[in-house]
Structures are given as structure tokens and as C-alpha cells.
Homo-oligomer: A and B are copies of this chain.
Amino acid sequence: MKHAIVLLSGGLDSTTTLAIARSQGYETCALSFDYGQRHRRELEAATKIAESFGAKKHLIAKIDNHIFSGSALTDDVDVPKSRSEKEIGAGIPVTYVPARNTIFLAYALAWAESIGAGHIFIGANAIDYSGYPDCRPEYMALFETLANIGTKAGVEGARLQIHAPLLKMSKADIVRKAVELKIDLTLTHSCYDPRPDGRACGECDSCRLRRKGFDEAGVKDPIQYARPVAP
């Protein structure tokens, strides 16, 4: 059986990625991160999702958040709301966390090599996304090269592969894929700024991209929004 590490934030994209890995026959270990993010509800979501997909292990790894500063996802900076599609697509937003995917993939690589897994799945998407530089195809390809020349497993001939199956899918495509794979979408959590009762705000970039995807796919989003109609 092929062994894979799947990066799992608990959002729509990473959950769909886990479902894809499972549907392709991989035995999966799910890896989530506690990096002091404000939207900690995603860790609860990730735990339930890992269980529901029969992940062999689920590790919530701590990242020392002293190395981050200046991001709206970790610091006390306002999460931008009600931005248009054009605004979301223009430039790198304040929700960017420095080198986040590099740290996530480095941890995944260490864990993969430690347990003898040859595959890493990441739900990065470069179509309906927030403009993060570490979500682009060239970044993923380069990290795969690095993984193979920078590890004992790679040097000794194992071919470590980074899989980003959503990279070129639209959000609507991802919703359709999630439905096709019978994911319980009530488990997924995408909001950058959830209400204390757990409801998604409905207005942050992540909520807006998610709602647009469901709209375009003609699928009803089953999660609760604090603001029921998209602004």
C-alpha cells in the first residue's frame, strides 16, 4: 500500500485532498498545525475529518509562533472583509503568513521520511485563491526537487512526490469533486474569522471564495454563516 502524509487544515480544499488521496488507494496520515492561529476551530474540524476518513494517524504539530509576525491570521490585525473578486485577486493579502507552506511541507517531509511515506498531499490551489506565492505550481515543483536532494530517502533513490491535486481546479470544480467523493461538507471549516459560536463570518476572502464556488457549482453549502446572504 502507498503511504501518504496529507496536510489537513480542516477546510474544504484539504478535506477534498484527503478524500482524493483515499480514493486513489493511499493509506494516509493526516498532519495539522497549531501555529497560534486565531481560527482554532479549524483544528477541531481537522480532528473530526481525519477520524471520518479513517486516517491511520492524525498529528497536530506545534509550530513555534514566535517566528511569525505581521499576519492577520496570527496577530491582532483585522481580517479583510467583503472584498470583491478583483480585490481578492490583486496582490498578496494581510492574511499571508511568512513561509507558511515551506514550514508545513518541511514538517510533512520530516514526518514522511521518518515513517517511510513517499507521498505528500497538499490542498494548494492557484486558481480561486488568495494570491499566496507558496501556492503556485512552480513553488510545488521546486519543493519536490528540494525534498529529493535534501533527504536521505531521496538521495538513496526513493522518489518523494508532492501531490497538489487541486492546484489547477476552480473552487466550483473542488465543490463538485467533494460532492462526488461524498464528503460530509458540514465537517469542513474555511472561515478566517469565525464567530464565537463557530459560525463562519461569510465575509472574509476564504468565505467569499467558498461561497462563490458553491454558487457556481450549483450546490448548497451546508455550513452555517453569520451573514446568510453573500455581501
Instruction: State the A residues within 8 Å of B (CB).
Output: 31, 59, 61-64, 66-70, 92, 96-103, 105-107, 109-115, 133-134, 136, 138-139, 142-143, 145-147, 149-156
Provide the main secondary structure of the chain A interface: helix
- Are A101's CB and B139's CB within 8 A? no
Given contacts A31-B67, A98-B112, A142-B150, 12 further A-B pairs with CB under 8 A are A59-B67, A61-B64, A67-B111, A69-B115, A92-B155, A98-B110, A98-B113, A99-B113, A102-B106, A102-B150, A139-B150, A142-B142
Copies of this chain, complex-wide, total: 2
6 contacts between A and B (CB under 8 A): A59-B66, A69-B114, A99-B110, A133-B151, A133-B152, A142-B146
Given contacts A61-B64, A99-B113, contact A149 B154 (CB under 8 A): no
Please report the C-alpha to C-alpha distance between residue A106 and residue B68 in the assembled complex, in whole angstroms: 12
- Are A110's CB and B150's CB within 8 A? no
